[in-house]
Amino acid sequence: MNLTFSLIKPGAMQHCEEILMAIKAEGFSIIAMKTQHLTFSQVEIFYKEHRDKSFFHEMCEGLTQGPVLLVVIHEKKGIETPLRFRTLLGATNPKEALPGTLRARFGVDINSNAVHGSDSKISAIRELSFFFSGIEIG
């Protein structure tokens, strides 16, 4: 799988140029992107596996407080692109993320952790199809 899905969260949109540059510097390319202000119900569906978690409402509020950037990431010879991209993201909590990772650099706290990336090939297929049509997923 040489594609993955990423989302720059509202709290990090002010840094989106820098984030995109850091992504490209790691050898990924961006084949599509669009800005969108997500609705609460879109986020509820997108993150439905977390709906019973204590932080679910707070997480949905954070993701709807302003526009996000939805990004299709590609790697020319990638076979594990979702996993490699997650390494660049860093740990969920920016305070635990390795220095140099996107969340360590641009995250504020666990809820406002700058960037999302699909956590597996199956998630990437679902998430890419959720926001983009016409992407050829091989």
On whether 86 is known to bind a ligand per the annotation, the reply is yes
Q: Which residue in the set 36, 41, 87, 92 belongs to the binding site for ligand ATP (CB under 6 A)?
A: 92
Distance between CA atoms of 132 and 96, rounded to whole angstroms?
Answer: 31
Q: 26 or 58, CB closer to ligand ATP?
A: 58
Residues 6+ positions from 88 with CB-CB distance below 8 Å? 22, 23, 26, 28, 101, 102, 117
Q: Considering the rule CB under 6 A, would residue 116 count as an interface residue with ligand ATP?
A: yes
The answer to whether residues 85 and 28 touch, using CB atoms and an 8 Å cutoff, is yes
Q: Would you tell me how many other CB atoms lie within 10 Å of the CB of residue 8?
A: 25
Per-residue binding string, ligand ATP, 46-85, x by CB under 6 A, is ----x----x--xx--------------------------
126 is in an annotated binding site: no
Q: Which of 117, 125, 128, 131 binds ligand ATP (CB under 6 A)?
A: 117
Residue 113 interacts with ligand ATP (CB under 6 A)? yes
Task: Please say if 116 is a catalytic residue.
Answer: yes
Which 3 state secondary structure label does DSSP give 93? coil
Per-residue tokens: 37: 């202000």
- Least CB distance to ligand ATP at residue 46 (A): 9
Residues labelled catalytic: 116
